[in-house]
């Protein structure tokens, strides 16, 4: 028997992910990130740090259960919620990241997540050698978002450092907060906009392939954009007083135009946390659709203006719950049209301290993700001027060749924009 400390109604985002996992257990709905430590470290300290993180963040030690017909988030004690397993994964020094990724691809690691009995995070300690190990943090999006990985990494590192120094670790529990939402008038305004805009939208034209019936999500190999092109974009961004992300989005609009899209919908993953909720790990992310009018031939300024208009929509509507938006727009299936292609660009918080005295640690946050909320997600990670991209995609819509083509075309579109070409050299899909 599990001990339920208290419970609360699940929010709409949790309900959607729970329903998806219940209807189709083949969709794992999660991802993972990894910390690799060089130096002697006590496994008991690692497990104690994991329990401390769970104790601090209530959403990470919660399960989702139907109670009298209502989905409830039930909070468990950290000791009962903690799933911490040990194993050996020998590898050469420097090969830890590749070894962990290969281990994750093994069929036995593709386990169904029972959200009624399992908390949304698991810990796996993999020993590579006496003085090297990795901790794999497996997470399900029903209780975990991209922002949360940085909070967990920070708190885990701090707790591990205290334990190694012999200090007591007694983290103050943080209750699951209410997710910030937009004012009513903003939600009504967004619904009214999409009632008109959705009638003009058509299914997005993208490279097609895939295997019928294979709805699981997989990830393409990661590629790196040309650093000189990214550096040039950053210079242009400064001159135009926009962000580098705006420039990357402008390049994407050109690519979509070449594929034959003139009026299309793009989904952006938006962090909706605020100063009151941002310190709590959990689910505080929203899918925000934006409308794009694209042209194959456009100046740099025109492409940037298109991206800026879309990001203005994002800023205005980022806290309008996607489920409310979909429910308020009858007619064409907004949910499907607006989730064909998404863009995700999480950034670690400023001043993120992951140092553990006496250990050399390396964190891998850019790892495969199997969340099926979006049919395809262009994942962008930056350490300027280095910029890496990956495509997560549903395998019934796209195959490996088509995913790699889309990424190669994006790299070309970025280089075109950096060179001020008005006509894209991307080939039609």
The domain ranges of the chain are 6-164, 184-340+375-418
Instruction: Using the predicted structure, report yes or no on whether residue 332 has a pLDDT greater than 80.
Output: no
Q: Which of the four pLDDT bands, split at 50, 70 and 90, describes residue 4? A: very high
Give mean pLDDT, residues 43-65.
97
Average pLDDT, the chain: 92
Q: Structure tokens of 299? A: 């100046």
Instruction: Using the predicted structure, report yes or no on whether residue 105 has a pLDDT greater than 70.
Output: yes
Cβ atoms of residues 398 and 213 within 8 Å: no
CA distance 261 to 295: 8
Instruction: Using the predicted structure, report yes or no on whether residue 11 has a pLDDT greater than 90.
Output: no
Give mean pLDDT, residues 342-360.
93
> Which range in 50-59, 254-263, 362-371 is most confidently predicted, on average pLDDT?
50-59
How do strand 121-129 and strand 84-88 relate by DSSP bridges? parallel
Q: Which of the four pLDDT bands, split at 50, 70 and 90, describes residue 350? A: confident
Instruction: Using the predicted structure, report yes or no on whether residue 103 has a pLDDT greater than 70.
Output: yes
Higher per-residue pLDDT: 369 or 158: 158
* Same-fold call for 6-164 versus 184-340+375-418: yes
Tell me, what's the pLDDT at 12? 80
Range name among 39-53, 266-280, 320-334, 408-422 with the lowest pLDDT average: 320-334
Instruction: Using the predicted structure, report yes or no on whether residue 372 has a pLDDT greater than 80.
Output: no
- Domain 184-340+375-418 sits in which CATH superfamily? Nonribosomal peptide synthetase, condensation domain (3.30.559.30)
Cβ atoms of residues 229 and 244 within 8 Å: no
Instruction: Using the structure block, give the residue that is written with the tokens 């997540």.
Output: 113
Q: Which of the four pLDDT bands, split at 50, 70 and 90, describes residue 274? A: very high
Higher per-residue pLDDT: 401 or 197: 401
Give mean pLDDT, residues 150-166.
98
Residue 38 has a CB neighbour count (10 Å cut-off) of 17
CA distance 216 to 28: 8
CATH 3.30.559.10 correct for 6-164: yes
**pLDDT 10s digits, 385-429:** 999 999 999 998 999 999 999 999 999 999 999 999 988 888 876
Cβ atoms of residues 273 and 346 within 8 Å: no
Q: For 355, list phi and psi in degrees, rounded to 5.
A: -75, 135
Instruction: Using the structure block, give the residue that is written with the tokens 């690519």.
Output: 255
Instruction: Using the predicted structure, report yes or no on whether residue 214 has a pLDDT greater than 90.
Output: no
Tell me, what's the pLDDT at 143? 87
User: Model's pTM, two decimal places?
Assistant: 0.93
Instruction: Using the predicted structure, report yes or no on whether residue 1 has a pLDDT greater than 60.
Output: no
Q: For 229, list phi and psi in degrees, rounded to 5.
A: -70, -40
Instruction: Using the predicted structure, report yes or no on whether residue 383 has a pLDDT greater than 80.
Output: yes
Tell me, what's the pLDDT at 19? 83
CA distance 58 to 66: 19
Alpha-carbon torsion, ordered 9, 15, 17, 23, to 10 deg: 130
Q: Using DSSP, state whether 341 is helix, strand or coil.
A: coil
Give mean pLDDT, residues 229-241.
97
Tell me, what's the pLDDT at 426? 84
Of 52, 121, 49, 47, whose CA–CA distance to 84 is shortest?
47
Instruction: Using the predicted structure, report yes or no on whether residue 80 has a pLDDT greater than 70.
Output: yes
Instruction: Using the predicted structure, report yes or no on whether residue 185 has a pLDDT greater than 60.
Output: yes
Can you say how many angstroms the Cα of residue 234 is from the centroid of all Cα atoms in its chain? 24
């Amino acid at each position: 028997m599990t001990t339920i400390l208290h419970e609360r109604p699940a929010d709409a985002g949790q309900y959607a992910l729970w329903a998806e996992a219940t209807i189709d257990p083949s969709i794992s709905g999660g991802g993972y990130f990894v910390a690799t430590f060089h130096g002697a470290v006590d496994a008991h300290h690692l497990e104690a740090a994991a329990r401390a993180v769970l104790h601090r963040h209530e959403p990470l030690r919660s399960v989702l259960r139907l109670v009298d017909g209502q989905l409830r988030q039930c909070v468990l004690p950290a000791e009962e919620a903690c799933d911490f397993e040990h194993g050996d994964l020998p590898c050469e020094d420097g090969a830890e990241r590749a070894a962990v990724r290969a281990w994750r691809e093994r069929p036995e690691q593709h386990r169904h997540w029972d959200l009624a009995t399992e908390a949304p995070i698991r810990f796996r300690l993999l020993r590579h050698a006496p003085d090297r190990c990795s901790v794999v943090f497996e997470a399900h999006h029903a209780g975990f978002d991209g922002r949360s990985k940085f909070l967990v990494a920070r708190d885990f590192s701090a707790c591990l450092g205290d334990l190694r120094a012999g200090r007591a670790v007694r983290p103050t529990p943080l209750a699951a907060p209410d997710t910030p939402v937009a004012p009513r008038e903003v939600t009504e305004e967004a619904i009214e906009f999409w009632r008109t805009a959705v009638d003009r939208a058509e299914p997005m034209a993208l490279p097609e392939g895939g295997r019928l019936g294979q709805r699981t999500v997989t990830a393409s190999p990661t590629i790196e954009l040309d650093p000189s092109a990214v550096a040039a974009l950053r210079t242009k961004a400064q001159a135009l007083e926009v962000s580098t992300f705006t420039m990357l989005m402008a390049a994407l609009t050109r690519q979509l135009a070449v594929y034959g899209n003139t009026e299309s919908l793009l989904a952006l993953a938006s962090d909706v946390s605020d100063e009151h909720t941002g310190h709590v790990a959990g689910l505080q992310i929203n899918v925000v659709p934006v409308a794009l009018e694209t042209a194959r031939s456009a100046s740099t300024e025109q492409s940037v203006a298109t991206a800026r208009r879309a990001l203005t929509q994002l800023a205005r509507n980022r806290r309008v719950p996607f489920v409310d938006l979909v429910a308020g727009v009858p007619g064409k299936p907004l949910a499907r049209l607006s989730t064909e292609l998404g863009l995700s660009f999480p950034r670690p918080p400023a001043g993120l301290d992951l140092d553990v005295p006496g250990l050399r640690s390396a964190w891998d946050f850019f790892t495969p993700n199997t969340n099926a909320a979006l049919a395809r997600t262009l994942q962008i990670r930056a350490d300027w001027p280095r910029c890496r991209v990956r495509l997560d995609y549903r395998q019934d819509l796209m195959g490996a060749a088509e995913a790699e083509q889309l990424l190669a075309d994006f790299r070309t579109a970025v280089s075109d924009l950096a060179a001020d070409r008005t006509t894209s050299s991307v080939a039609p899909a």
